[in-house]
Structure 1
């Protein structure tokens, strides 16, 4: 005949220590996600908002649609900016302030004044 196996005893109530043991990894993962993902994005958004708030004429900007232009007028009340997008014809376009995705350096290669095309 086979041996009779004892029945497993029910697990004792874990209580507060068991809940803490279960919640600690979740809290640790949430903190890591905050500091590695959310905090850097929040700081980047804050820097961009500060750059847009300090926008002035002759600043080189890039819109979220990829337009490169030079600021010719800032209309803060309407939330708009007028950009000169073509140096030769003087073509201008009005965009909303929220559409500005980057303020470019005047010396960088990605400025609108660069008329050279790389092949």
Structure 2
């Protein structure tokens, strides 16, 4: 004969594991997927004149968008770099206008 407590114990464990998976999904996986989708759309919408920051921290203005998934980035007047679109991290103005977080005392 099976012990009724053994059944409910395994059911409770399964419910807790299921809840942990749901919490993990909603707090970790879903926001990351949403951010990746936004970044992909931003990369595909790049155009000449956009001010950007690369993942290496290089600031510049897009001079030309190439068909081979690269852009020509003007880092200073007359100085150009050819970089992959995927190396662009964010818009320059977004990087400069981050909200200031005040410390609570």
TM-score with structure 1 setting the length: 0.71
Alignment equivalent of 2:28, drawn from 7, 30, 37: 37
The structure where helix makes up a greater share of residues is 2
For 1:1-26, what per-residue CA distance to the aligned partner results, in whole angstroms no more than 9, with x for missing partners? xxxxxxxxxx72634x4432111111
Taking only aligned residues, the RMSD between alpha carbons, in angstroms, comes to: 2.2
Unaligned runs of 5+ in 1: 1-10, 111-119
User: How many residue pairs end up in the alignment?
Assistant: 96
- Aligned equivalents of 1:20 and 1:104: distance in 2? 52
Q: Which runs of 4+ in 1 moved over 4 A?
A: none
Highest Rg: 1 or 2? 1
**Residues 1:105 and 2:96 are matched in the alignment:** no
Unaligned runs of 5+ in 2: 98-105
| SS of alignment partner, residue 62 of structure 1 | strand
